[in-house]
């Protein structure tokens, strides 16, 4: 028996990277999964990989209408919505305050915060009525950058810090019906892109830096991490039997804060 048998889960940004790994693990554990992503080719590949276990919607998390359509699709197709995973995000490739022009900081802020923060807020707004009905839960993807500097530039790091405040406030507002938590993974070699407004939309983190080796060489545990390595914490938070008392928390699975022993 799967830990999420019969549960309905909505994942944003499930087309690649961590989101793709989440879809795979949720399906493996018996969940029916709806995915909202802006990349139609990635969603086509996802449907081919997972067949009837998934439904997809091509849309943008910065639009409330798209979030609502995805939530309604999950309920229509699978009878309810039990878990919402806000995960779609972009990175700033570590562009620093001194290196970025004032124009880049302004337009980059608007685009990056619109996806990383507003996207989570509007997703939460769209799914809240369904999760109140099902007494479900929300899980947001944050980052080691939600706690520590250096995992990006000021735009990305402040957007992930903002996510901590969002989790705490929503957990407070939506209790006792809905649990709201987050997971903070560390670096992964994925297709993570940056804001087009900063000229960072055309390459991925995996292409730009040797991130797999950087995580291995600088991390306390010295392992080469794959997105799937971070997925267990989501499963725990999605599974009511395992985490019924947990809300308003961020599970840090990055090991970023533990100094490397020499």
In whole angstroms, the minimum distance from the beta carbon of 27 to ligand NAD comes to 17
Chain residues in the site for ligand NAD (CB under 6 A): 13, 15-19, 37-39, 42, 60-62, 87-90, 115, 141, 143, 185-188, 190-193, 205, 211
Cβ-contact 231, 25 below 8 angstroms: yes
Cis peptide before 176 (omega within 30 of 0): yes
Q: Is 156 a catalytic residue?
A: yes
Between 134 and 194, name the residue whose CB sits nearer to ligand NAD: 194
Given 120, 156, 230, 234, which residue is catalytic? 156
Between 38 and 240, name the residue whose CB sits nearer to ligand NAD: 38
Between 86 and 134, name the residue whose CB sits nearer to ligand NAD: 86
* Distance of alpha carbon 212 from alpha carbon 215, whole angstroms: 5
In whole angstroms, the minimum distance from the beta carbon of 39 to ligand NAD comes to 4
Task: Give the CA distances from residue 178 to residues 33, 72, 138, in Å, rounded to whole numbers and listed in that order.
Answer: 19, 18, 7
* Distance of alpha carbon 209 from alpha carbon 28, whole angstroms: 31
Task: Give the CA distances from residue 98 to residues 54, 87, 104, in Å, rounded to whole numbers and listed in that order.
Answer: 44, 29, 11
Query: Among 238, 68, 70, which Cα is nearest to 141's?
Result: 238
Between 78 and 230, name the residue whose CB sits nearer to ligand NAD: 230
In whole angstroms, the minimum distance from the beta carbon of 131 to ligand NAD comes to 20
* Distance of alpha carbon 48 from alpha carbon 35, whole angstroms: 13
Give me the residues paired with residue 88 across strands.
none
In whole angstroms, the minimum distance from the beta carbon of 36 to ligand NAD comes to 6
Which residues are the active-site residues?
156
């Amino acid at each position: 028996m799967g830990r999420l048998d019969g549960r309905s889960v909505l994942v944003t940004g499930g087309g690649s990277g961590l989101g793709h790994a989440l879809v795979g693990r949720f399906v493996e554990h018996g969940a029916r999964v709806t995915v909202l992503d802006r990349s139609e080719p990635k969603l086509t590949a996802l449907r081919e990989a997972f067949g009837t276990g998934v439904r997809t919607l091509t849309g943008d998390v910065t639009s409330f209408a798209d979030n609502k359509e995805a939530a309604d699709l999950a309920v229509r197709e699978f009878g309810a919505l039990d878990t919402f995973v806000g995960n779609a995000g972009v990175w700033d490739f570590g562009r620093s305050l001194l290196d970025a022009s004032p124009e880049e900081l302004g337009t980059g802020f608007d685009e990056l915060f619109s996806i990383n923060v507003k996207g989570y807020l509007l997703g939460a707004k769209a799914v809240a009525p369904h999760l109140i009905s099902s007494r479900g839960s929300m899980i947001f993807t944050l980052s080691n950058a939600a706690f520590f500097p250096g995992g990006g530039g000021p735009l990305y790091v402040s957007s992930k810090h903002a996510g901590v405040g969002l989790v705490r406030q929503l957990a407070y507002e939506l209790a006792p019906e809905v649990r709201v938590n987050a997971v903070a993974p560390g670096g992964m070699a994925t297709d993570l892109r940056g804001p087009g407004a900063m000229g960072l939309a055309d390459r991925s983190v995996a292409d730009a830096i040797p991130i797999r080796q950087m995580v291995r060489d600088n991390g306390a545990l010295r392992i080469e991490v794959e997105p799937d390595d971070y997925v267990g914490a989501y499963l725990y938070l999605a599974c009511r039997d395992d985490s019924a008392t947990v809300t308003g928390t961020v599970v840090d699975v990055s090991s970023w804060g533990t100094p490397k022993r020499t």
